[in-house]
Structure 1
Amino acid sequence: MRSIQLLVCLIILATFSGCSSADVKLPYLGEPEMARKVVDGKQVEEQVYPTIPDFSFTNQYGETVTQKDVSGKIYVADFFFVTCPTICPIMKKNLLNVYKMYKDNPDIRILSHTIDPDHDTPAVLKQYAQDMGVTGKMWQFVTGDREKIYDIGENHYLVTAGKDSTAPGGYMHSGAFVLIDKEKHIRGMYDGTTVDGTQKLIRDINVLRKEYE
């Protein structure tokens, strides 16, 4: 059911992609639930979309990163591992363009989660970031408890993230970039292995920014 809902949302997003940022708002992704609330003294039902839950990971500087660090921010999340022999180098090259575009914007963040925490220690992640020319805390590479990373990836960011002995490098993960709004809702998913997907992410970040003006 979740996959059907996601597909419908992506189709809606694609349908309106030709509109200007002033004409359309991004959809909410994920399986909504009905919630009751009181409006003008009357009980009404409304759809409530899932949000990214609280988390606690460690970044490339050895610092704890929690939901508070992206509170009130628009951010992009993805999953990778340093020794990935397949799509990760392409994804990081594409995401580097996003970083360069928004690195001086205090309202935009990038959060990359390693799915190989045994190897990808903070020191390894710091060297990885330095090799890419990434400085500061706009783009944070995080590690932590393996099961918590897998859980937040698959059950909340709606991507594949986990060990797979049959996959190149021993891990299977999605090539998606996930766009999160300031209220922790997923507002878009993009093919991080393509230039077109990355450009659409950049366009939709700007659309989302308009919602807060």
Structure 2
Amino acid sequence: MKYARLRVHHTAEARHPMHAFEMDHEAIDSAELRHWNTVLDDTNTFVFRVRGDPDPFRAKLEARPSTVEYSLTPVSDGAFDCCVRERATATDEGYIDAFARGSLVVIPPIRFNPDGTTDLTVAGPPADVSGAVADLPDGMRATVRSVGPYRRRAGSPAARLTDRQRAIVDAAVERGYYDSPRDCTVADVAAGFDISPGTAAEHLRKAEATVVRHALDRA
């Protein structure tokens, strides 16, 4: 199974009206789709995380004829959550249908960018990923930002280290290698495993790279 990070480009006509509103309103900083549930009655229900002022966001929801119902949480640290149920448009249905195939899974969140694009991650067989990209409705196209084995995205960064890497990192942490200022050197860490400083440094470098990649993936 593969994962693919996609960026979907929308024409102005194919862009969701709430995304266009968020792009243009100075009181809304960012928004992302955290959860969704497609109900079999021609409506969609979404949970958004929005950074900004909830008042213009609420006013926009109330003004849209497609809004069935909604609720907002209180603002916390400059952000609020919005659960909204709305009537699906033909464009919405085409977008959803493109990814509703085989064993393909969309991994939240879906991020709405200030330039009008959206970023999402999907996981599944390569053929289904390619099929979703090819079958996006008119007005949308996707570019692939990165691909890789899905196991690289699963679990904590520590779970991705080899046993040897984990043992050497644990020793380095315990002995103060990552303290500021450092209380030991790579040679000190290496001595505890009867290996050369170069080998210890290589284990630490690979472990650090794994942790950094995980942090960037989550960001």
TM-score normalised according to structure 1 size? 0.30
Q: Report the structure, 1 or 2, having the larger strand content.
A: 2
Larger Rg: 2
Q: Which is richer in helix?
A: 2
